[in-house]
């Protein structure tokens, strides 16, 4: 199983997730989430496969989230609008995102990774 690992190399959580994937010997393609931000179609696909609402894909602790006042913008935003915001700037996206094309995890919690990615 080959995974796609959307990450930001300076992110501590991403580094922990990368180490975990490496320790498990999992094959993955690392995609820099800022340099290669997923487009709206890809984000819609990730959201659909994740069973997580679009709102949970936002990096709510990030500087960009605060600068753009996203908390207020998201109050009445539709899923389509949320996806447009996410696609506009990779720094708004919670990371890492890992997918095999069927399942998706957002963020890094070891127990979730074990459940999703250890066969």
State whether residue 43 is helix, strand or coil.
helix
pLDDT tens by residue, 20-75: 999 999 999 999 999 999 999 999 999 999 989 999 999 999 999 999 999 999 99
Helices 79-88, 40-50: crossing angle, 10 deg rounding: 120
Which DSSP category does 33 fall into? T
**Domain 2-117: homologous superfamily in CATH:** Glutaredoxin (3.40.30.10)
Contact between 92 and 65 under an 8 Å Cβ cutoff? The reply is yes
pLDDT value for 102: 95
pLDDT at residue 1 greater than cutoff 90 = no
Average pLDDT, the chain: 96
Among 59, 67, 15, 61, CA closest to 37: 59
């Amino acid at each position: 199983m080959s995974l796609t690992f959307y990450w930001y190399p300076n992110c501590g959580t991403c580094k922990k997730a990368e180490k975990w994937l490496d320790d498990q010997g999992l094959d993955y393609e690392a995609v820099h989430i800022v340099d290669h931000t997923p487009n709206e179609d890809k984000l819609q696909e990730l959201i659909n496969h994740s069973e997580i609402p679009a709102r949970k894909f936002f990096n709510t602790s990030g500087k960009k989230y605060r600068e753009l006042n996203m908390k207020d913008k998201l109050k009445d935003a539709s899923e389509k609008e949320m996806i447009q915001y996410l696609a506009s700037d990779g720094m708004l996206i919670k990371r890492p995102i890992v997918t095999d094309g069927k399942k998706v995890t957002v963020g890094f919690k070891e127990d979730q990774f074990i459940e999703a990615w250890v066969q």
